[in-house]
Structure 1
Amino acid sequence: MWLRTRNLWGSSRPRLSLLQGVGSSLSTLSNSGPRTLPLTYRLLDGLDILPPVILLHGLFGNKNTFQAEAETLAQQTGRKVLTVDARNHGESPPGPDCSYEAMSADLQALLSKLGLTSCVLIGHSMGGKTAMMLALQKPELVERLVSVDISPFMVTGTSSIFKIIPAMKSANIPGNLSHSQAFEVIDEHLKPFVQDASIRQYLFNSLVRINGQYVWKVNAENLWQQKNQFLDNLQIQGVYPGRTLFLTNDSSSFLPSSHFPRIKLLFPEAQFQIIPDSGHIPHIKKPQEFMNSVLNFLS
C-alpha cells in the first residue's frame, strides 16, 4: 500500500543515471545572508537543454518522499530531476535556524554548485514556501514554479500539525520488525493524532532502521522549537513574474481561496488548480492526478 518506489506509469523503475551526494560546503551564501548548510540530494540525469526540475518535500519529509515522482518526471520529460533533504530533515545537517530565508539560502548554494539554474521548482507545503521564497528573492533562477497546497501567507488552525512531533517521539517500534510490520505498528500508533491515512503514509517515509533500531530522519527538537517560523508569512518584498501553478484541494486549510487575490499580487501569472479530495498531500492521495497536473504545466 505504502511503497513509493514504484514508477507511477508502469510496473518497474526506469533505468536512469543517478548521482547522490552532499551539496555546497560554502559557509554562507553572502556576507550578510544566513549561514548555509550542505544539503544531501539525489540527482537523476537528463538533457542539459531543458530546465531541471527541483522537488522540495514538506515538513517531516525527505528526498525519498518524491522518489517515484522524480523518476516519472525524468523518464517522461527527459529533464534532470533533483530531490533534496532540507536542513533538519533526512540526511542533511541540523540547524537551529528554521526560517525560509535560511532554507532558501541552502537551496541556492546547492543549485549554484550543481549548475542547475534556471530551474523548475516544485515544492509541497514547507517546500512550497521555500520555493516561493527563492522565486521572490531570485526570480532569474526560477523558470517556473509549482506550489503544492500551501499559501505564502499565515493561515489559522494549522499549528495543530506540530502535535505530530510528540506522537512520533513516543512511538515504540521493535527493531526486529520488517519494514511493512513497522508501518502497521506506526500507523496504529499515529491514528489518534493523525486521522488522514495519507499523512500517516507520508510520515512513514522518514522512518528508517539504523543499527537494529527504528528512528525518525527528522530533527524534531529544532522543528519544535522553531515551529512558529513555519507558519508565518513569507518575510520578503518582491514579485515573481514567471509562470506559477498553485495546486490545492477542494477544502484546503493551508491554501484557502480567500488568499488567491493576495497571492496574485506576488505571483501575477499564478494559476490555481483544484484536485478534488486530494487532501494536504495530493502526490500520495491522488498520485496520478497530481502527476498529470505537473506534466501538463511543464508542457
Structure 2
Amino acid sequence: MGACAPPSLPRPPAVEHGATTLALRRPEPHWRHSPPPAAQKRWQPPRSVSDDRCGAGTEAQAAAQNRARAERRRPNSQTLGRPLPLSYSLLDGEAALPAVIFLHGLFGCKTNFNSIAKAFAQQTGRRVLTVDARNHGNSPHSPDMSYEIMSQDLQDLLPQLDLVPCVVVGHSMGGRTAMLLALQRPELVERLIAVDISPVEGTGSSHFPAYVAAMRTVNIPDGLPRSHARKLADEQLSSVVQNLAVRQYLLTNLVEVDGRLAWRLNLDALAQHLDKLLTFPQRQESYLGPTLFLLGGNSQFVHPSHHPEIIRLFPRAQIQTVPNAGHWIHAERPQDFIDAIRGFLV
C-alpha cells in the first residue's frame, strides 16, 4: 500500500485563478522539522534544519545524520505499545485555517509529499505537516507495528504541535491510519481524505509480502562503492520486483549507515506484522465528519463491493475518481490530486 510511487515527484504547477497565479502571491513557505533524536527526550520547538534524507551538507552533518539513523534503529522494549516521537516536517501557514496532514503509504516516507506539500501551502496558505510513520523514513524503529499504534503516534504528535482539529490526508497505509484516527478521536479530525484505499481488504497489495521478503534477502558486501552497491541491490531485487519504477522506489530506502548501505525501513517489524497492515481493524463506531475517498481511475485497490462498508463507517463519505491515475495519484497526477483536495475543502 503506497509502495510504488516514482522516486522523484514532479513539482505541481501553480493553480491559475483568472489572470493571477496564486502561488506567486504568497511567500515561500518555511519548513520546520522534528527535533533530532537526542532532543526528543526533552521536547523542544521544531527548528529550521535540512531534511536529512535529501542531504546536501557537510561531512560532519552527514556523519551525525548516520549516527542518528543508527540510534533510531536500535530496538527498545520500552517503546512497545507506546507512542514514538515521529519525524516530521511542518510548513508554516495561517493558524486560523485547519492544518493539512499528509500520511505516506507502506515503504514510503514524508518526502514523498514534499512537492505536494509546498504547492499546497503556497496555494492555500494553510500549515502543512508531513510525517514519517514509525519504522519508516527517519522515525524511530519499534517491534510494535499496527494501525492502532500508528494512530496513537498521531494522537500524541498532533496536539503537541497545536494542529488539531486538522484535515488528515492519508495514502494507502496512511489512509487506513487516518481512518482509524478519525474513528477513534473524531475531535482531532476536521475532515478526512483517504487516497486509493478502503477499510476493506483488497487484492491490490497482494504482492507486498514478496517485496518485503526480497528486500530482506538483499546482500551487499562491505567496501563496495555506493553506486555499485545500489546497482547490486537493484539486480538482486529484479527477479521479484520486475517493475523498474517500483524497484527504484524501494531502493530510496537504502541509506548509508556507519559506512555501509542498510535499509532504513524496519523490515523485521514489517514482515512480522504485514498481515495486520493489509487489513483494517474491525470497528463499530462511525466518523460523522466530511470524508473523501479519492481513487485512481486505473487502480484496483478499491472495488465497488467496498462501498457499503465505507458508508457504514463514514456516512458522509464522497467517492471521487481521478482519471488516468493508478494507485499513486499524488505522483502520477499531482495537480489533479491538489485540485481534488482543494475542491473538497471549499
Q: Which of the five TM-score ranges fits, normalised by the shorter chain? A: 0.7 to 0.9
Q: Deviations over 1:45-91 (max 9, x none)?
A: 11100000111011111111111111111111111111111111112
Matches within 5 A, 1:6-45: 7-9=11-13, 15-22=28-35, 34-45=81-92
Structure 1 counterpart of 2:225? 176
1:101 to 114, 127, 148: 148
Q: Distance in 1 between matches of 2:285 and 2:298?
A: 28
The residue correspondences of 1:92-171 to structure 2 (distance < 5 A) are 92-156=139-203, 158-171=205-218
8 A contact 1:40–1:92 mirrored in 2: yes
Alignment partners' CA distance in 2, 1:144 and 1:59? 22
8 A contact 2:298–2:327 mirrored in 1: no
In structure 2, distance between residues paired with 1:175 and 1:245: 47
Which residue in 2 is equivalent to 1:64? 111
Helix, strand or coil at the partner of 2:133: coil
Given the superposition, is the C-alpha separation of residues 199 and 276 from structure 1 closer, same or farther in structure 2, using an over 3 Å criterion?
farther
The structure having more radius of gyration, on CA atoms, is: 2
The answer (yes or no) to whether the contact 1:57–1:125 under 8 Å persists in 2 is yes
121 and 201 in structure 1: CA distance in 2 versus 1, 3 angstrom threshold: farther
In the aligned structure 1, how far is the partner of 2:196 from the partner of 2:246?
13
Q: Specify the alignment match of 1:262 in structure 2.
A: 309
Gaps (5+ residues) in structure 2? Answer: 1-5, 15-23, 43-79
Partner of 1:293: 340
User: Unpaired runs of 5+ in structure 1?
Assistant: 27-32
SS in structure 2 at match of 1:146:
strand
User: Paired residue for 1:250, among 267, 277, 297?
Assistant: 297
Q: Choose which of 118, 121, 136 in structure 2 pairs with 1:89.
A: 136
Amino-acid identity (%): 48
Give the SS at the match of 1:115. coil
Displacement after TM superposition at 1:188 (Å)? 5.6
SS of alignment partner, residue 13 of structure 2: coil
Q: Contact 1:52 / 1:80 at 8 angstroms: preserved in 2? A: yes
Note closer, same or farther for the CA distance 1:25–1:143 as it changes in structure 2 (3 Å cut).
farther
Question: Aligned runs of 1:235-246 on 2, under 5 Å?
Answer: 235-246=282-293
Q: Give 2:329's aligned residue.
A: 282
Shift of 1:145: 0.9
Q: 2:8 aligns with which of 3, 10, 27?
A: 3
The amino acid that maps onto 1:176 is P
Contact kept, 8 Å, 2:298 with 2:325, in 1: the verdict is no
Letter in 2 for 1:154: E
Query: Which residue is 2:263 aligned to?
Result: 216
Query: TM-score scaled by structure 1?
Result: 0.85
| 1-structure distance, mates of 2:244, 2:322 | 17
Calculate the aligned-residue CA RMSD, in Å. 2.9
| Number of aligned residue pairs | 289
Measure how far apart 1:189 and its partner are. Answer: 5.0
Letter in 1 for 2:12: L
CA contact (8 A) 1:62 1:205 kept: no
Q: Comparing 226-235 with 113-122, which one deviates more in the overlay?
A: 226-235
